Amino acid sequence: MKLQRTLLMTVVLLALTVGIIGIGVLGETPPSEKVKLLVIDQTHGIQSSLQIELFARALVGTGKFSIHALTDIPMGKNTEEPYNIVIIVPSTVKQVWIITPDVPSQLTPALAQALYVVETITEKMYGGEHTLDPRAVVGVTDDLFPAVYSGFLMRNGWL
């Protein structure tokens, strides 16, 4: 119990620190230019969900992201404005997938900058040895799953 409390405090402090770093990286951006981020949490576990909440709070704390969440990958068509970045936390694979509409070198400068912040915060939240649910951070150029989901989500208007 004491170890879990210590881990939770470490993650909270890390989230606050990362939020401050994110503000410095992106600078000031008008609210209308927030990056739309979709987080899909398939884990359904208390520790993973706590970590995802801290992760989302760190991103929101930068003031640069508008975040929505789902518990499953949407199969239908999206009728609203697409998201700029999608994060999938799968239940069976110890990875976090960062899904973008194109390879990082082909993104607009603003989206590439936002992706850098997302990757940095994701690495700090999931890559450390004191995280609640350690996972590898994987993007569309690193693994087949993120690349396939990128095409699928784009085809259905989510990305």
CA torsion, ordered 23, 57, 43, 11, to nearest 10 deg: 80
- The C-alpha atoms of residue 98 and residue 138 are separated, in whole angstroms, by 6
- pLDDT tens-digit readout, 57-107: 999 999 899 999 999 999 999 999 999 999 999 988 899 999 998 887 888
CA dihedral 129→116→111→101, nearest 10 degrees, is -50
Tokens of 145: 């799953």
Domains, the chain, ordered by start: 2-155 (3.40.1710)
Joined together, the tokens standing for residue 1 give 């119990």
Q: What's the pLDDT score for residue 133? A: 77
Please write the tens of the pLDDT for every residue from 30-57: 445 789 999 999 988 887 888 888 889 9
| pLDDT-above-70 percentage for the chain | 79
| Alpha helices (runs of H) in 33-143, residue ranges in sequence order | 46-61, 109-126
CA distance 94 to 133: 8
Distance CA 9, CA 11 (A): 5
